């Protein structure tokens, strides 16, 4: 699944052991074509919902081409998402189409991100797990380490939750986390608007209580201008990676790649 240029991939078996804070950079299809370097980044987040046109988003051959170009050009693992409009997506895409887009993208991307509360989350997870099971069955005669095959041939599943208005109560965050686990997430991502110091305390406590608990890793993002410092602090206390912008700022308070690489 990885190109020869990729020396490290957080989405593969063993890739998250002993990690240091990592940086994901959101990209559109136009960015992939125009940008020459992602120096300092560790993950390319491909925002399919922000593609230059809806027709291109719905063209599976074009999506495959952009994912392949991204991996070959930058030598980074690709996290692909087609964000729902109600959780910050750009184009409105019906759930049935988003499901097909994400499942198709999973054959090229290293990880797929779908919203925990979306109707398609169980369907996408089921399809990706079924694809993994088929891979194991097809290669079982020649494979002795089944776990390696499962992890290295299937896209990692990131299940995400976004609240652009507020930081939910701790009980809600725990419910989201438990739902993500029950659906079969490899990584659970929570992004919430932080307007007060109490909001930042809640998210900090959540990270400390849940990072490294079992097989699930977490990514926690505090959005908003007052939470900018948390984009550097949260990865240091257990959030798996942070996001930094290149040409496409995808959330309030997102720092630039140039700024973040001064610290990580």
Q: Which residues are part of the catalytic machinery?
A: 162, 189
Contact status, residue 101 vs residue 93, Cβ threshold 8 Å: yes
The DSSP call for residue 66 is: H
Please give the Cα distance from 243 to 246 (Å, whole number). 10
155 with 106: CB under 8 angstroms?
yes
Helix (H, G, I), strand (E, B) or coil at 48: helix
Of 161, 216, 217, nearest in space to 193 by CA: 161
CA–CA dist 245, 228 (Å, integer): 13
């Amino acid at each position: 699944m990885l190109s020869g240029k990729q020396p490290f991939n957080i989405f593969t078996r063993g890739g998250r052991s002993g990690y240091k804070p990592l940086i994901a950079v959101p990209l559109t299809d136009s960015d992939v074509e125009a940008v020459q370097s992602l120096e300092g980044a560790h993950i390319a987040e491909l925002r399919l919902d922000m593609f230059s046109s809806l027709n291109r988003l719905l063209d599976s051959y074009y999506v495959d081409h952009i994912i392949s170009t991204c991996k070959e050009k930058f030598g980074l693992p690709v996290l692909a998402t087609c964000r729902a409009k109600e959780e910050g997506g750009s184009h409105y895409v019906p759930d049935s189409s988003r499901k097909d887009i994400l499942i198709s993208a999973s054959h090229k991307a290293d990880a797929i991100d779908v919203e925990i509360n979306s109707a398609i989350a169980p369907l996408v997870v089921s399809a990706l797990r079924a694809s993994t099971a088929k891979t194991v069955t097809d290669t079982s005669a020649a494979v002795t380490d089944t776990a390696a095959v499962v992890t290295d041939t299937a896209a990692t599943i990131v299940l995400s939750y976004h609240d652009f208005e507020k930081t939910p109560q701790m009980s809600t965050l725990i419910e989201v986390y438990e739902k993500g686990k029950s659906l079969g997430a490899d990584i659970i991502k929570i992004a919430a608007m932080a307007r007060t110091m109490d909001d930042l305390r809640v998210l900090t406590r959540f990270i400390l209580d849940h990072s490294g608990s079992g097989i699930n890793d977490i990514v926690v993002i505090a959005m908003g201008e007052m939470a900018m410092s948390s984009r550097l602090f949260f990865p240091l206390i257990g959030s798996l990676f942070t996001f930094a912008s290149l040409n496409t700022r995808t959330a309030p308070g997102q720092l630039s790649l140039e700024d973040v690489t001064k610290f990580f």
